[in-house]
């Protein structure tokens, strides 16, 4: 059986950054496994701009951002396999895969980096009633058809969900000549960036209907009509508020789920809130030597943060294969407190921190004028004032090695302290 | 004579709700309120005088492994030119190989802005 020092599963932004960083930190044999026909992952279909402001200090489109990393991978001479599906990872880091060239193949890795990304929630995940007509797509699928394959998915469109992909697709479909009747959002606020609401909806006079949902899909062969209604505070449709749009297409932008089938079968512990592996400061999962990064761990809103996190995972995978990661030492748990939904990483071993650690988190509502406070019991370790907080915008706090060394116990809490009334 | 337009600033995630008052008293001036920083004022005035946007789209690709080649404007173009820009792109068919950054259309609509490829193919 062929063996590698590090096998990276997934050739999107997370896998590419992890592999390049592992190589730069002394790892020798690295294999990147990608199931698509090319590297770059979902960035290749995200042809809009707005990527790279933090990593490259300039504004790039998705394909441009991807190409920089693909070039980096090739320059480093890192081996990769395309059209290759990983079937299984064992807790002993044996990776089974299949492709048209090698057939079935098993390799032994010293370390594994999970970078499988995430998957879109579908109609089935949210149980929309109505007929099973054609013309119902997840926004990402439609994006791939339009931007890469060159197929227009419809002419008269309603979009359910106002996350960034839904907003971006509203503009994209409009530019390509479709009529987007409305973007319908179940929650009383949009999960997308304000910038996208302005540039994708307001620029084209596309209505954003907050606190509304799709109540029925009508159409025998193709979608003919989408019925919507306003919802109450319990997200239940309010009788009498129904109305409908004559259209041929429904796009769904109703959330993303980390893709962890492989992690589960390997026996890796998952976090119920993020849907991704529980990780420590080195982005190592509950199985020693198996690391994870990017959207497979938690869904990010900016690829720049995926890159930052994945570089950390790649570097630590390299440290692991060179026996530089300390195992079985003092471990601190990071606990989300009031107003904070989750914190990544879940565990910190201060001995493995070189200078600082980035804690990433999401809040549970829209807040103005609040503080993110890290505490050990009643002692404040760090407190940061935030003028604006929203669930759609990931927050991060840096802790220095010195600050981490002041922690005597086994747990710190990250919570929101509200100074003004919630909006 | 004055009229007021409301808009949300997109310079940062704060999303200030601003009001921009147009004052026509011999010379046209704009008074921005509701912004919490100078960038808001800058954005508000720009939106009133010459709003611009980057356009990202695709063109037909003849011999690539994909049917479409992603492209963008080399800089932001006036907002009212977006649909004209799309019409121009619709008629373009590119033959490979193309490198990222290659100019696909020179001096788009006389705006001194190019259309460039955003990936190699």
Predicted pLDDT at A194: 82
CA atoms within 13 A of residue A380's CA, in its CB half-sphere: 9
| Alpha-carbon gap, residue A270 to A286, rounded angstroms | 9
- Of A227, A254, A281, the one marking the end of a domain is A254
The H or E element containing residue A11 is none
Which tokens belong to A86? 């990983």
Query: Which tens digit of pLDDT belongs to each residue from B68-85?
Result: 999 999 999 999 999 999
Residues A192, A156, single domain; the answer is yes
* Cβ pairs A/B, distance under 8 A: 73
Containing A296, the helix (H) or strand (E) segment is: none
Contact A114, A243 (CB under 8 A): no
Does A398 share its domain with A299? no
Per-residue confidence (pLDDT) for residue A385, from 0 to 100: 92
Of A143, A137, A167, A68, nearest in space to B57 by CA? A143
Of A67, A194, A198, nearest to B100 by CB-CB distance is A67
Interface test with B, best of A74, A149, A153, A195 (most B CBs within 10 A): A195
Count CB-CB contacts under 10 A for residue A178.
Answer: 21
Nearest CA in chain B to A172: B57
Q: Find all residues with CB under 8 Å of B8, minimum gap 6, and list them.
A: A194, A197, A198, B15, B16, B17, B18
Q: Cβ separation of B67 and A61 shorter than 8 Å?
A: no
The whole-model pTM stands at: 0.93
My answer on whether A5 and A110 are in the same domain is yes
Instruction: Outline where A182-250 has alpha helix (H).
Output: 194-196
A71 has a chain B CB within 8 A of its CB: no
* Cα–Cα dist A30/A4, whole Å: 6
Its domain, for residue A373, covers 327-423
* Domain boundary residue, one of A263, A298, A325: A325
Per CB-CB distance under 8 Å, the chain B contacts of A393 are 13
Cβ within 8 Å, pair A193-B13: yes
Mean pLDDT for back-to-back runs of 10 residues, chain A (423 residues): 97 98 96 97 95 90 97 97 97 96 97 97 91 96 96 97 94 97 94 87 96 96 97 95 96 95 96 96 97 97 94 97 92 96 96 94 91 94 90 90 92 88 47
Shared domain for A250 and A126, answered yes or no, is yes
Contact A199 B53 (CB under 8 A): yes
The H or E element spanning position A43 is: none
Number of domains within chain A: 3
Q: Do B120 and A38 touch (CB under 8 A)?
A: no
Question: pLDDT by residue (tens digit) across A294-332?
Answer: 999 999 988 999 999 999 999 999 999 999 999 888 999
Test the B interface: residue of A148, A164, A177, A204 with most B CBs within 10 Å: A148
Instruction: Provide the token pair at A189.
Output: 């606020």
CA-based nearest distance B26→chain A, Å:
30
Contact B120 A388 (CB under 8 A): no
Which CATH number does the domain housing residue A36 bear? Answer: 3.50.50.60
Q: Would you call B119 and A199 a contact, using CB atoms and an 8 Å cutoff?
A: no
Residues A316 and A362 both lie in one domain: no
Q: Cβ contact (<8 Å) for B82 and A64?
A: no
Residues A198 and A286 in one domain: no
- Are residue A233 and residue A294 in the same domain, yes or no? no
Q: What is the largest distance, in Å, between two alpha-carbon atoms of chain B? A: 59
Q: Which residues of A314-328 are buried (b: 16+ CB within 10 A; e: fewer)?
A: bbbbbbbbeeebeee
Mean pLDDT across chain B? 92
Judgement on whether residues A25 and A93 belong to the same structural domain of the protein: yes
The whole-angstrom distance between A220's CA and the closest CA on chain B is 31
Residue A413 and residue A365 in one domain: yes
Rounded to an integer, what distance in angstroms lies between the CA atom of residue A363 and that of residue A341?
Answer: 5
The CATH code of the domain that includes A403 is 2.60.40
| H/E segment holding residue A182 | strand A179-184
Strand B77-78 to A60-61 pairing:
unpaired
pLDDT (tens digit per residue) in B2-36: 788 888 888 876 778 899 999 888 888 999 999 88
Residue A47: its chain B contacts at CB < 8 A? 56-58, 70, 72, 118
Is A261 found in the same domain as A116?
Answer: yes
Does one domain contain both A319 and A332? no
CB interface of A with B, residues 246-275, below 8 Å: none
Cβ of A1 under 8 Å from any chain B Cβ? Answer: no
Q: By C-alpha distance, which of B96, B112, B115, B105 is closest to A61?
A: B115
Helix and strand numbers (H, E) in chain B are 2, 10
Last residue of a domain, one of A295, A325, A355: A325
Same structural domain, A301 and A415:
no
């Amino acid at each position: 059986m062929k063996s590698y020092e590090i096998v990276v599963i997934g050739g999107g932004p997370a896998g590419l950054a992890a592999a390049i960083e592992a190589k730069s930190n002394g790892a020798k044999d690295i294999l990147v496994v990608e199931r698509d026909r090319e590297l770059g992952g979902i960035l290749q279909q995200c042809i809009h701009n707005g990527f790279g402001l933090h990593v490259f200090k300039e504004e790039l489109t998705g394909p441009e951002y991807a190409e920089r990393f693909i070039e980096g991978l090739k320059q480093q001479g890192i081996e990769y396999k395309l059209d290759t599906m990983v079937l299984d990872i064992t807790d002993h880091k044996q990776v089974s895969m299949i492709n048209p060239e090698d057939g079935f193949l098993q390799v032994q890795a010293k370390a594994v980096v999970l970078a499988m990304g995430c998957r879109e929630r579908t109609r089935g995940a949210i149980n929309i009633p109505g007929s099973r007509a054609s013309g119902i797509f997840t926004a990402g699928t439609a994006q791939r058809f339009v931007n890469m394959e060159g197929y227009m998915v419809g002419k008269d469109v309603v979009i359910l969900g106002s996350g960034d992909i839904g907003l971006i697709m509203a503009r994209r479909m409009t530019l390509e000549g479709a009529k987007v009747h409305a973007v319908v959002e179940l929650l009383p606020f949009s999960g997308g960036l304000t910038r996208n609401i302005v540039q994708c909806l307001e620029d084209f006079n596309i209505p954003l209907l907050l606190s509304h949902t799709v109540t029925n899909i009508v159409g025998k062969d193709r979608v003919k009509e989408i019925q919507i209604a306003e919802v109450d505070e319990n997200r239940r449709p309010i009788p009498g508020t129904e109305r409908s749009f004559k259209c041929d297409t429904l796009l769904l932008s109703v959330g993303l789920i980390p893709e962890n089938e492989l992690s589960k079968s390997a026996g890796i512990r998952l976090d119920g809130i993020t849907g991704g592996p529980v990780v420590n400061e080195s982005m190592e999962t509950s199985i020693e030597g198996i690391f994870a990064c990017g959207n497979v761990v938690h869904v990010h809103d900016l690829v720049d943060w995926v890159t930052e996190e994945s570089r950390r995972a790649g570097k630590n995978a390299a440290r692991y294969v060179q026996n530089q990661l300390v195992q079985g030492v003092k471990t601190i748990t990071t606990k989300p407190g009031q107003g904070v939904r989750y914190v990544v990483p879940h565990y910190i071993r201060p001995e493995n921190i070189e200078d600082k650690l980035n804690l990433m988190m999401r809040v549970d509502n829209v807040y103005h004028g609040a503080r993110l406070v890290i505490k050990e019991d009643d002692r404040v370790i760090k407190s940061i004032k935030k003028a604006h907080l929203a669930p759609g915008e990931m927050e991060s706090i840096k802790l220095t090695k010195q600050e981490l060394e002041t922690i005597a116990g086994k747990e710190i809490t990250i919570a929101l302290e509200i100074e003004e009334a919630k909006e | 004579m004055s009229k007021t337009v409301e808009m949300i600033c997109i310079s940062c995630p704060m999303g200030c709700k601003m009001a921009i008052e147009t004052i026509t008293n011999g010379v046209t001036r704009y008074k921005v309120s509701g912004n919490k920083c100078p960038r808001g004022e800058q954005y508000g005035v720009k939106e009133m005088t010459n709003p611009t946007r980057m356009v990202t789209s695709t063109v037909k690709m003849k011999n690539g492994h994909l049917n479409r080649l992603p492209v963008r404007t080399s800089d932001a173009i006036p907002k009212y030119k977006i649909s004209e820009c799309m019409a121009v792109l619709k008629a373009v068919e590119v033959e490979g190989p193309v490198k990222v950054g290659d100019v696909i259309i020179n001096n788009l609509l006389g705006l001194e802005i190019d259309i460039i490829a955003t990936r190699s193919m």
